[in-house]
């Protein structure tokens, strides 16, 4: 049974692949049926990390919500070009600045006494990923959304000037790791985080996010979990990435279509399915 659904999945992703082969940046699926998407590493969280658990009851899908197919470009719904301003207008310099520039007189101080904060959401059993078209606003309740409704088309992997959560939540669901940083965070610390994420896996997204705090201006996100940090902690970050990479509920490694304000496309580290996470690190 499992095998049959896997074959079906490959067939379905082939179908959606066909509709995108005109996209020059498209990365071909590299299907290897021996690879599972189960976590391959164990999670070792030191005592110094504060752990908070929250119930995510707000996102139980109601039965009458129409689900829109994911990964299918449709200009009446979402084609990664029209009506983007519903979330964030990539052509509006004011909006770009609000989301990506620091308006403080100095950058946030690095304080390695502040303990990392890990927030884990309890996912309701009935949780369904909801894809909403661009004509519908999606707003989140959490300071850092970790699950929830999102757009049918997900983001191309890589680093962005700014990418709205309505896109990266979909990437997380596919097993991506997201690195968020506050625009006022320390530049040297940020460089270290970026370098680590880029060297750990292909399926990553990097974007500024102004909801991060002065105390912890960096965050790594995996499916339903965030790890907020005041400073670069290599062991902890690597551990988090290894455990949460590929942990999303949808087994999908195909690259996304949305690429507004993409600065640097993600490079393949092992292969497009990231069969090893943080190799050699
Ligand atoms: C989450 O919900 C469960 C069951 O409804 C409850 O037992 C638990 O205490 C809740 N946890 C939190 C952190 O609110
Ligand atoms: C650009 O964004 C700002 C801030 O959201 C908004 O006030 C302004 O109306 C927008 N300009 C245009 C031309 O859409
Ligand atoms: C920022 O946090 C608030 C809650 O504190 C939340 O309502 C809002 O949606 C968050 N912003 C984004 C872009 O997720």
For residue range 9-26, list pLDDT tens digits in order.
444 443 333 333 222 222
Given a cut of 80, is residue 57 above it in pLDDT?
no
CA distance 226 to 179: 10
> Does ligand 1 come within 6 angstroms of the Cβ of 3?
no
Q: What is the pLDDT of residue 252?
A: 82
User: From the CB of 94, is ligand 2 less than 6 Å away?
Assistant: yes
More confident residue, 11 or 122: 122
Tokens 């658990």 correspond to 53
pLDDT at residue 21 in the model: 27
Distance of CA 141 from the midpoint of ligand 1 (Å): 18
Taking all residues of the chain, what is their mean pLDDT, rounded to a whole number? Answer: 84
3-class DSSP string for the chain: CHHHHHHHHHHHHHHHHHCCCCCCCCCCCCCCCCCCCCCCCCCCCCCCCEEEEEECHHHECCCCCCCCCCCCCECCCECCCCCHHHCCCCCCHHHHHHHHCCCCCCCCCCCCCCCCEEEEEECCCCECCCECCCCCCCCCCCCCCCCCCECCCCECCEEECCCCHHHHHHHHHCCCEEEEECCCCCHHHHHHHHHHHHHHCCCEEEEECCCCCCCCCEEEEECCEEEEECCCCHHHHHHHHHHHCCCCCCCCCCCCCECCCEEEECCCCCCCCCCCCCCCC
Q: Please give the pLDDT value at position 253.
A: 87
235-280 pLDDT, tens digit each: 999 999 999 999 888 778 899 999 999 999 999 999 989 999 999 9
Q: Which protein residue's CA is at the shortest distance from atom 10 of ligand 1?
A: 55
Residue 53 CA: which ligand is closest?
1
Residue 74 has pLDDT above 80, yes or no: yes
Q: What pTM does this model have?
A: 0.85
Residue 94 pLDDT grade (very low, low, confident, very high; cuts 50, 70, 90): very high
- Highest mean pLDDT (candidates 117-126, 139-148, 193-202): 193-202
Report the pLDDT averaged over residues 159-170: 97
Q: Which residues line ligand 3 (CB under 6 A)?
A: 139-141, 143, 145, 165, 211
Phi, psi of 263 (to 5 degrees): -90, -40
How many other CB atoms sit within 10 Å of the CB of residue 145? 24
User: From the CA of 62, how far away is ligand 2's center (Å)?
Assistant: 33
Instruction: Please answer whether residues 153 and 80 qualify as being in contact, where contact means their C-beta atoms are separated by less than 8 angstroms.
Output: yes
- pLDDT, one tens digit per residue, over 169-210 is 999 999 999 999 999 999 999 999 999 999 999 999 999 999
Task: Provide the token pair at 199.
Answer: 């060297």
Give 81 Cα–ligand 2 centroid separation in angstroms: 18
Residues paired with residue 208 on neighbouring β-strands, in sequence order: 181
Distance 101 CA to ligand 3 centre (A): 17
Q: Whose CA is nearest to atom 2 of ligand 1?
A: 55
pLDDT tier at 59, thresholds 50, 70, 90: low
The reported pLDDT for the residue numbered 19 is: 31
Ligand 1 atom, smallest distance to 122 CA? 1
Percent of the chain having pLDDT more than 70?
82
């Amino acid at each position: 049974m499992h095998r049959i659904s896997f074959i079906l999945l490959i067939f379905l992703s082939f179908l959606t692949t066909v509709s995108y082969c005109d996209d020059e940046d498209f990365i071909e699926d590299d299907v290897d049926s021996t690879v599972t998407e189960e976590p391959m590493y164990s999670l070792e969280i030191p005592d110094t990390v504060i752990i908070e658990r929250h119930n995510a009851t707000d996102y139980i899908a109601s039965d009458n919500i129409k689900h829109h197919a994911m990964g299918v470009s449709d200009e009446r719904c979402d084609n990664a070009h029209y009506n983007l301003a519903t979330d964030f207008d990539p052509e509006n310099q004011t909006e770009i600045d609000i989301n990506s520039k620091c308006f403080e007189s100095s950058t946030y101080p690095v304080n390695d006494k502040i303990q990392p904060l890990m927030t884990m959401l309890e996912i309701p059993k009935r949780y369904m990923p909801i894809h909403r078209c661009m004509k519908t606003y999606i707003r989140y309740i959490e300071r850092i959304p970790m699950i929830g409704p999102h757009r049918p088309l997900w983001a191309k992997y890589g680093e962005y000037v700014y990418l709205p959560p309505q896109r990266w939540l979909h990437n997380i669901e596919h097993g991506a790791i997201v690195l968020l940083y506050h625009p006022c965070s320390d530049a040297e610390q940020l460089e270290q985080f970026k370098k680590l994420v880029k060297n750990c896996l292909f399926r990553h997204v990097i974007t500024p996010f102004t909801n991060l705090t002065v105390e912890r201006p960096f965050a790594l996100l995996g499916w339903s979990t965030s790890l907020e940090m005041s400073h670069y902690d290599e062991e902890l970050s690597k551990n988090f990435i290894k455990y949460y990479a590929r942990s999303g509920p949808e087994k999908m490694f195909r690259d996304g279509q949305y690429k507004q304000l993409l600065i640097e496309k993600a490079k393949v580290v092992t292969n497009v399915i990231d069969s090893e996470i943080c190799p050699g690190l």
